[in-house]
Structure 1
């Protein structure tokens, strides 16, 4: 009976009927050759580059938008600076605080950081009486100025702009300046000076004043009463170089018109010899002395008004 048999209609393909069993229906396997791996790596690298460029462009766009919004906002680099409210002035000499206003200009609204302390230092040191100066900022609102002044040694007369004599001070360094703040008593103790005239004309600069200052200091210390009689120091024969021959310092006093000091012997020894001479003159009834020359080597010559000359 047709169709009655259990195995009728069966084929030679067997019981399992599926597309997987057909030729070409198997799953495709990945090729693992070196060329294939290289192609896959290249594709991944290209994909990475695309993503990187994309996100970098987005970030750059965002940064540009933020920068555009903030471009007019000021950027504060330094901390706010307060105006100068106090000036602390200190000196080793006699310059008064009011003197600062004649040398430097400081507005009330000047801030601490606006001050050029180096330029201010130069302005202070340009003044003849100032040997050195320092300027410091003391935050938040103070300025500290310290000044070292020259030591006054001598005084001199010069002709002013209107042909009037004006007083000038000579320091140990040979600086000539207008004295500011000196008491009259201090100035009265300074002998006047007749400066050395240079061959090219004029008396500036004054050289070798430190040697003159040593002579004055030794006399003031060892013979203070006699030093008070000193009126004038003449440097007409002292160019400033004590090693040159014939260099002498001449002093004129109210007791002896002319006293000559040299550089062959120490000033201490010359002053000791001078004390002996003055004591001898006093014991002889104080005959008028015209000139005492202490510059001779190992001795001194005394010329009296009578014309007599004695050696000691």
Structure 2
């Protein structure tokens, strides 16, 4: 039986008080450990997200094209003395990519004090002559993807080697946006790489009969060159085969004394038609 004398009750009270005291001490110790750990994690996080911010000392600019350093200085807003963390890298990226000649841009901080800007530029395919409101003519560049831009930094020799383009006119009378230029660029690249002498004679690429929609029948890309006034390519047929026919015809005509040619139509299926200045028409039948 449990003793319930006054002395026994006092002993039990002392034991409970001692136990409660030990629990209280343990709770304080545990709370201190948790609090210290939290403070330490906050301190580490602060160190990670707030590195020392020095003034920008160098801008490391790199491009795969021709844009000069002066263009960069006029395009982005980097004030003297601006710190690394003050530079709005997302805003700078947007400002750079708003320029039509820029295909993509990356901007990153290189601590402790450098800013790296890397540009990928659009590749020029053709030139476009535009008449301004005052009647003067202005030259612009057409990229491989059809983007039209001013063209900054290109050597004169590079521009001289680009043929002009005569755009397709839409039903509403407009010329823009230019559609299907990727397909035209494939033709130009093929001829430039495989028949550079022929390519250098090309002066104008007419898209009068090429809307850019390859699903429509009769889509023709017309080239006006220094040696043949009109060369017609089917936009939907294999360009390599059409180029083979063209080079064969030019070589054949050369061996025949170079009679003057008015037109070579390569858009016919399996054959090509040659119209001479004399009025005579010849044909070339493909063997493949």
What is the TM-score of this pair, normalised by structure 2? 0.81
Of 178, 185, 190, 1:218 maps to 190
244-253 vs 207-216, which moves further: 207-216
Separation of aligned partners in 2, 1:138 and 1:173: 33
- Residue 80 of structure 2 corresponds to 108
Over aligned residues, Cα RMSD in angstroms? 2.9
Matched, 1:169 2:141: yes
Kindly state the Cα deviation for residue 286 of structure 1 after the two structures are TM-superposed: 2.1
8 A contact 2:219–2:236 mirrored in 1: no
Distance 1:130 1:109 in 2: 27
The CA distance in 2 between the partners of 1:289 and 1:204, in whole Å, is 33
Question: Which SS does the other structure have where 1:303 is aligned?
Answer: strand
Can you list the C-alpha shifts for 1:221-241, whole angstroms capped at 9, x where unaligned?
222111111000011111112
Residues 34 and 181 of structure 1: is their aligned pair in 2 closer, same or farther, counting only changes over 3 Å? farther
Corresponding position of 2:104: 132
The correspondence of residues 203-282 of structure 1 with structure 2, limited to 5 A, is 203-263=175-235, 265-282=237-254
User: What residue is the counterpart of 2:129 in the other structure?
Assistant: 157
Structure with higher Rg: it is 1
Residue of structure 2 in register with 1:62 after alignment: none
Contact 1:264–1:295, Cα closer than 8 Å, also in 2:
no
Specify every segment of 5 or more residues in structure 1 that has no aligned partner in the other structure, as ranges.
1-31, 53-74
Shift of 1:163: 3.7
Gaps of 5+ in 2: 25-45
The one-character-per-residue Cα deviations of 1:129-174 (angstroms, maximum 9, x if unpaired) are: 1111100101111100000011111010113354421111111111
* Residue aligning to 1:198: 170
User: Partners of 2:103 and 2:133 in 1: how far apart?
Assistant: 26
How far apart, CA to CA, are the structure 2 residues paired with 1:197 and 1:173? 18
- Rounded Cα–Cα distance in structure 2 between residues aligned with 1:132 and 1:186: 22
